Each structure stands twice: as C-alpha cells, then as structure tokens.
Amino acid sequence: MTTKNMEPGARGRPRAFDLDQAVERAMLLFHSRGYDAVGVAELGTELGIKPPSLYAAFGSKAGLFERALRRYAEGEANLFARARAGGGTVAEVLQRTLLEAARSYPERGGVAGCLVLDGARNSADPQARALALAAKAAARAAMRDVIAAEAPERAEDLADFMATAMAGMSAEARDGAGPERLLRFAELAGAAVRRELGDLSSAR
C-alpha cells in the first residue's frame, strides 16, 4: 500500500513510494554490502525515489539505516527471540540461538552474516557505527536479562560469551564459512554454555 504522507512543501501531493517496501529494500542493500558501500544515489535508484524524497522520508542515509536495523531486529533475523519462542531452559535457548545463527548466517543470494553485527563494521560514519552499537547492546541486554532470571551470577559473562560467539560466526560467514563449519562451532559453543550452567546448578 502506498503511503499517504505528504512531501514537505508539496501540499496535497502524496509520496509516490511505499515506506515499508523502501526500508525492506534498503535493509537488503545494507546487509549485503555494508553501510559505507551503499550511496544515497544508489539507494534512490533502488527505492525508485530521488534523494530529496529520501531525505524527506528518512532525514538522512543514517536515518534510513536506523529504520533498516529496527526492521531487521523485529523480524525473523532476531534469532534469540526465535529461540526463546521454542521454550526450554536458558541453556537450551542459548544453544538453540547459536544453532540458528549457524544455519542463518552463511551466504544466500549475496547476503551473509548479521546486519546488526556487520552492517556498519569499519564504517567511516560515526552515526552509523553508533546505531549499530546500540542495536548490538540491545541484543546483548536481552540475552543477559533472560540468563539473569535463572543464573544471575553468570549473566554478564554468558551474555558476553554469546555476543562474541555470534559476532565471530557472522564474520566467518561473511568470509565464506559454510553451515557445516558454523554448526560444528555452534555445537561446541552450546556445549560450553550448557556445562557452565550445569556446573552452576550442581553447585547449588
């Protein structure tokens, strides 16, 4: 459905593009190529709008990136949310998260890794880096809070472990690692998490 929002200074003339579709297309571009490699002119061409319309809708390229990060984190790419939906103990949820990452991160159709973890990696734009860091921090905090409900004394360390493991898998996937290799790593990492939480439980 085409949005009915108006362009500034263009009274009564509706914007001729779909905002949701535009964010979806931009998300795929940022994910496949990284923030810095995608220019405003290319975004305009891909979205079917001119740069003034892009700025009117999103404020800036970084504003569009922020919308893309939000859409990514609220959708199927939120692996931790998907893993939690399966129920089980904290250890089971964390192991499931790692396995989902191993299956999801390998390259498909030119897209590999995680947009949140790698979309602004080494970006020269401080605003883009800050947006990505905020999204990473929110994902880590979500894991920490769930872990803390069962193992508060291990929550910070295990959240760090999970964030580091997933960042490593994302980077490896972007470098060409396939699902078999990532699944082996995820199984080892998941076993380490289960041992850590198991040791904690047995000590109580």
With CA atoms as reference, report the closest residue to 94 among 144, 153, 136, 169.
144
Residue 14, classed as helix, strand or coil, is: strand
> How far is CA 76 from its chain centroid?
10
- Give me the pLDDT at residue 15, please: 52
| Residue-level pLDDT at 43 | 93
Give tens-digit pLDDT for 63-103. 999 999 999 999 999 999 999 999 999 999 999 999 999 99
Closest CA to 80 of 101, 97, 98: 97
Length of the chain: 204
**Average pLDDT, rounded, for the chain:** 89
Domains of the chain: 19-72 (1.10.10.60), 78-203 (1.10.357)
Q: What's the whole-number mean pLDDT along residues 53-64?
A: 94
- Pairwise CA distance, residues 154 & 90, whole Å: 12
Q: Can you give the pLDDT at residue 202?
A: 41
